Amino acid sequence: MQQAFIGIDVGTSSARAGVFDENGILLATARHPITVWHEAGSVAEQSSAEIWAACATSVRTAMAEAALPASAIKGVGFDATCSLVVIDASGNPLTVSSSGDPRRNVIVWMDHRAMAEARRVNETQDDVLRYVGGSISPEMEIPKLLWLKRHLPSTYQSAGHFFDLADYLSFRATGSTARSICTVVCKWNYLAHDQRWSRGYFERVGLGDLVADKYAKIGTEIVASGTALGAGLTQSAARDFGLHEGTPVAASLIDAHAGGVGTIGGRGKSGESVDVRRRLAYIMGTSACIMATTSKPCFVPGVWGPYYSGMVQGFWLNEGGQSAAGAAIDHLIRSHPAYDEAVAIAHAAGMEVLEFLERRIVSHAPSLGGAAFLARDIHVLPEFLGNRSPFADPYSRAVVAGMDLDVDIGSMERLFVAGLCGLAYGLADVVEAFRSHGVDSDMMVISGGAGRSPLVRQIMADTTGLTVAVPETQEPVLLGAAMLGAVAAKSCGSIGEAMASMSAIGRLSESTPPGLTDFHRTKRQVHALMRKLDRESRDAMRNIESIAVVETKS
């Protein structure tokens, strides 16, 4: 009988399931939407019950499409966004919302309500912060816990468990409260290289109660990603998914890290051995992560990590990122006057609007990379949600320069390309920070929705000087999660073995003409000027605000 593995991925707006065979071939996939409640002040919340139901629906739909019996599924793996889930000791949701809605028990990764708390944590200058690039982000879990403790003390005190979403899913599937080393080291400040939480750090930031509780609410058992949890699927979880009770379930990964696992170890066309230390993983979705694997810890200011065993067991991980990537492009395009016209034309041709724009752009560009010349006179710093790295500035905001009064689709094309260039220059900033601190690479393997775009890949290659590759599979994040299931089922001895046997590299980017190198170098200088303008503008207005406060008091 054919054996298969299921990978389940929970992103920002949907849950997806993929069924893969033992060679990493995708047999079927399905998606189900999930709700995000947005409030003022960069607040974003979800429901863990709805997320679980979306996972179950996706699994059942994918299994029906694959036409496999439940007995064929030998292992299940989860990945998810680094969102905070709060439940009581009985597993019931506790609200994280000022609305008091009990369904809303998840603070989404992109929620920036804990800006002040993150700033206070950073002011401690605790040694733990060395392992997050020197500065913690409001997207991480410790600032969010501090926000709950301060603003919703009843929820905080009543909590039985604080879970990263990926760990919540494995808990819901198996009943095991074990945490994945990936989630706790990357988002909770666990010191994996020392196999410990830092007592002094928690006491210093104001979470000493977690120490007194012996870390029971955040994780006393930390295991490697891919470790088989509990006795596999519980009876209720198996019923929800339409699978067999006891099917092995793996300790999870964060979604971007699943994308890394699903890509960086892929076989080349000639089948040569792969050194994952020479490959970057770039996972581009709503946000983007740029991840590097090293043998020894490399401390890169403004870049998260180094995290021991954060992605690949036994290696260190440095994780750069962009808080708004796909979300930034979507926002730019929707804001253009020609958006409705472009959508209507695209849908009439059976395409999404970004695919429509790319086809138009490429059709009249001198070359794939030459399409960037459309953005010669328009420049975008696409930091709508701040700069995650390497500047670690959550207060940074987007700047657009060179806009005119044109309202046609041609103007929209120029803005689109300028936005892609802006993302590429942010990526290049991270790559340069890596290189300057001893993290060097030859190839970047790109995945996520935008990774399928030849235009995106070529602009990234022309900007960074790296060869950009696309994985052979269309679903590398789902594949990474399925690899976890293969490891939990002992069909693969390790994640490294799973990467080598279940993934492969596909198409490579074209070489960059010298003229394009000069063009992007000049635009990057403009990009740096825009960053300086944004920073100095904020400083100037803070001074005005301080003057206004003084005058009001007087």
Q: Number of C-alpha atoms within 13 angstroms, CB side, residue 502? A: 34
The predicted pLDDT at position 274 comes to 83
The predicted pLDDT at position 285 comes to 85
Say which residue the tokens 């007592």 belong to. 199
Q: Which two tokens stand for residue 478?
A: 């789902």
Any idea where the domains of the chain sit in the sequence?
A: 4-253, 279-472+513-554
What CATH architecture is 279-472+513-554? 2-Layer Sandwich (3.30)
pLDDT by residue, tens only, the chain of 554 residues: 689 999 999 999 999 999 999 999 999 999 999 999 999 878 999 999 999 999 999 999 999 999 999 999 999 999 999 999 999 999 999 999 999 999 999 999 999 999 999 999 999 999 999 999 999 999 999 999 999 999 999 999 999 999 999 999 999 999 999 999 999 999 999 999 999 999 999 999 999 999 999 999 999 999 999 999 999 999 999 999 999 999 999 999 999 999 999 999 988 766 666 889 999 999 998 889 999 999 999 999 999 999 999 999 999 999 999 989 999 999 999 999 999 999 999 999 999 999 999 999 999 988 899 999 999 999 999 999 999 999 989 899 999 999 999 999 999 999 999 999 999 999 999 999 999 999 999 999 998 877 789 999 999 999 999 999 999 999 999 999 999 999 999 999 999 999 999 999 988 998 888 889 999 999 999 999 999 999 999 999 987 765 655 555 55
The predicted pLDDT at position 543 comes to 79
Residue pair 28/66 in contact by the 8 Å Cβ criterion: yes
Which of 3.90.650.10, 3.30.420.40, 3.50.50.60, 3.40.605.10 would CATH assign to domain 4-253? 3.30.420.40
Helix (H) or strand (E) holding 434: helix 409-436
Sign of torsion over alpha carbons 386, 388, 390, 393: positive
- Beta-bridged to residue 471, according to DSSP, are 505
CA distances from 185 to 126, 127, 221, 239, 532 (A): 16, 15, 13, 32, 33
The whole-model pTM stands at 0.90
Strands 14-21 and 179-180: unpaired
The predicted pLDDT at position 513 comes to 83
Rounded Cα distance, 15 and 8, in Å: 7
Verify cis geometry, omega within 30 degrees of 0, for the bond prior to 93: no
Is residue 31 helix, strand or coil? strand
Helix (H) or strand (E) holding 5: strand 4-10
The predicted pLDDT at position 1 comes to 62
| Same topology between domain 4-253 and domain 279-472+513-554 | yes
Rounded Cα distance, 151 and 98, in Å: 8
